[in-house]
Structure 1
Amino acid sequence: MVQNERPRRQYRQVADQIQALVAARKLGPGQRLPSERELAEMLSVSRPSLREALIALDVEGHVEIRMGSGIYVGSTAGPRAEGDTPRPDAEGPLELLRARCVIESAIAEEAAAHATPRSVARLDDNLREMAACLDDTAQAIRLDGAFHIEVASATGNAVLAKLTAETFHKRMSPYFAQFSAYFENPRTWRLALEEHGTVRDAIAAADPPAARDAMRHHLTEAGRRFIDGVLAERAEESAAT
């Protein structure tokens, strides 16, 4: 018989391992899990994969990441809000960012080779709007997406613009929004705005290699900020001081 099931994403597999560990140790709601470092060693997984899995479990109510304390078994059994639980094969934020890094770096390179003054002017308008709303996450997210779509539109290829819009739209679900809440704030938006400006300058200078590298740097840094923004490690460090 043909199997139509798609494999579970890596972060979901790690989440399953964490839940299996909780069950094996018979840990109940409110009981503390091993430290992040210990979990990574016990499960033989990377810290980024572990952190992504922990956030998924936190969103779903299976664990609770407490600032200044650590990681605890959750007191709820199920998602915290309607629509929070993704399909088992749903891509995670880091996987999405890695895909965007590959695709949008090439798009930025193409944009630098074909952008018109009007295209650059639209990017400038976007940067000004975003600079004025760094304290408004909802607006910043909207303008962040608009910037990336404008870069793709600068290629003159409607398919690339549509692909960029569709890929960005994946981060707008309630589940992804909860992930974002861990690391998006005025400081990170300010950094993103500066990185957008570097991409804009390379496109305006008609420098394809620089535009490609600037976009790759931007999306790589976005992934790093996501990982660094997870509270588990910082909570453990705070508790130790």
Structure 2
Amino acid sequence: MLNDPRSRRQYRQVADQIMLLVAGQGLGPGQRLPSERDLAERLGVSRPSLREALIALEVEGQVEIRMGSGIYLLRPGHEGAAGVLHADAESPMELLEARCIIESTIAEQVAVLVTPDLIAALDDNLQQMAAAMDRTPLAIRIDAGFHDLIASGLGNSLLSGLVAQIFQKRLTPIFARYSAHFEGPRTWREALAEHRLIRDALAARDPAAAGAAMRHHLTQSQRRFNENVLGEQAEHAILQDD
């Protein structure tokens, strides 16, 4: 089991351990790494932690995740690498957990203070998102607007700024690579349906329902980031070849 010093995030530790394992096995550029399941068992880590580590290595240009095939080692200095990630950079799961805690509480409070103007603005945002299902960059911006609108309902600029600041971290290289692997019309349709539930709870001035709806939405966001990042088909193909 890995140690977890505060100076290095767990996914970064796992990424380092993966590369040590690769070196120990004498794998070279173009060769396939062990399956996700095998790596998780060997390193004694959870699948979500492993996936974050693999995405980080892909951002750095050290591995390539090929959907339907597996994870392959790249040569050093591979074109397209975004550079080395900071050792203390927050992981996507950390950010989503933080958002879940903060924004669920905010939604509960906004349900007490909600105004017709805020509901109208949310309705307009939902219409915009419904028209952007197949355009992920635009959908992300509209998604940010939805959460910013709700935070603004408190009239507290510090909290509104905090929500916006945390959401901005969704645009980091590691988050962007996650988006490239899993976000699309299906996931945006799910998110839109969850946004509508939040809107309805706010319109009903129901704090408990608003908090629960926001919590459900951001918990489901975590699930979507964790499911099929490498692809069940990829793992199935690896197991068939092994």
Shorter chain as denominator, the TM-score bin is over 0.9
Structure 1 residue aligned with 2:43: 43
Percent identity (aligned): 61
State the TM-score, normalized to the length of structure 1.
0.92
Within 2, Cα distance between the matches of 1:74 and 1:179? 19
| Superposition pairs of residues 92-111 of structure 1, within 5 angstroms | 92-111=91-110
Within 2, Cα distance between the matches of 1:39 and 1:239? 12
| Superposition pairs of residues 5-44 of structure 1, within 5 angstroms | 7-44=7-44
Structure 1 residue aligned with 2:122: 123
- Structure 2 gaps, min length 5: none
Within 2, Cα distance between the matches of 1:240 and 1:26? 21
The root-mean-square deviation of aligned C-alpha atoms, in Å, is: 1.7
What is the letter of the counterpart of residue 39 of structure 2?
A: L
- Structure 2 contact 55–174 (Cα < 8 Å) conserved: no
After TM superposition, give the deviation of residue 85 of structure 1 in Å: 3.3
- Structure 1 gaps, min length 5: none
After TM superposition, give the deviation of residue 234 of structure 1 in Å: 3.2
Within 2, Cα distance between the matches of 1:88 and 1:239? 30
Within 2, Cα distance between the matches of 1:152 and 1:20? 44
- Structure 2 contact 136–183 (Cα < 8 Å) conserved: yes
SS of 2:205's partner is coil
SS of 1:231's partner is coil
C-alpha change, 1:52 and 1:160, in structure 2 (3 Å) is: same
C-alpha change, 1:75 and 1:183, in structure 2 (3 Å) is: same
Structure 2 residue aligned with 1:184: 183
| Superposition pairs of residues 38-187 of structure 1, within 5 angstroms | 38-77=38-77, 80-82=80-82, 84-187=83-186
- Using the TM superposition, name which of 61-70 and 130-139 deviates more: 61-70
What is the letter of the counterpart of residue 126 of structure 2?
A: L
After TM superposition, give the deviation of residue 156 of structure 1 in Å: 2.2
After TM superposition, give the deviation of residue 80 of structure 1 in Å: 2.5
Within 1, Cα distance between the matches of 2:86 and 2:79? 13
After TM superposition, give the deviation of residue 81 of structure 1 in Å: 4.3
Within 1, Cα distance between the matches of 2:76 and 2:231? 19
After TM superposition, give the deviation of residue 171 of structure 1 in Å: 1.1
SS of 1:181's partner is helix
- Structure 2 contact 112–207 (Cα < 8 Å) conserved: yes
After TM superposition, give the deviation of residue 186 of structure 1 in Å: 0.9
- Structure 2 contact 35–239 (Cα < 8 Å) conserved: no
Within 1, Cα distance between the matches of 2:238 and 2:48? 21
1:194-229 residue CA offsets vs partner (Å, 9 max, x unmatched) = 100000100110000111110111011011101113
- Using the TM superposition, name which of 224-233 and 22-31 deviates more: 224-233
After TM superposition, give the deviation of residue 151 of structure 1 in Å: 0.7
The count of aligned residue pairs is 236
Within 1, Cα distance between the matches of 2:109 and 2:176? 30
After TM superposition, give the deviation of residue 29 of structure 1 in Å: 0.6
What is the letter of the counterpart of residue 59 of structure 2?
A: V
Within 2, Cα distance between the matches of 1:85 and 1:194? 36
- Structure 2 contact 58–81 (Cα < 8 Å) conserved: no
Within 1, Cα distance between the matches of 2:43 and 2:228? 22
1:139-186 residue CA offsets vs partner (Å, 9 max, x unmatched) = 100000010010111122222211111110111133421221111101
What is the letter of the counterpart of residue 34 of structure 2?
A: P
